[in-house]
Amino acid sequence: MAERHVNVGWAEGLHARPASLFVRAATAAGVPVMIAKGGGQPVNAASMLAVLGLGAQSGDEVVLSSQAEGAEAALDRLAKLVAEGLEELPETV
């Protein structure tokens, strides 16, 4: 299983607009991705309700994971999006 541990870079955490950006990127990743907060239960990263339900705040550590073959690049792009708190989807996502 591939994993990335990152701290949430958005000032407002994974809420509203940032969560929407993240969910769109996770959906576009082409592989199933899970996200968990601080050792909690992983949830589907492509589900807006599940991501909002994490309650991830700025600076909180989240774990992105996937069991799919070839998930490394997708997790790298998603980790960059979360860690840097980007305001729009990178072209490569």
User: Which single residue is written with the structure tokens 């769109």?
Assistant: 24
Q: Is 5 an active-site residue?
A: no
The one catalytic residue in 9, 10, 15, 51 is 15
- In sequence order, the β-bridge partners of residue 61 are 7
Cα–Cα–Cα angle for 79, 86, 10, rounded to 5 degrees = 85
Task: Find out whether 41 and 35 touch, Cβ atoms under 8 Å.
Answer: no
Active site residues: 15
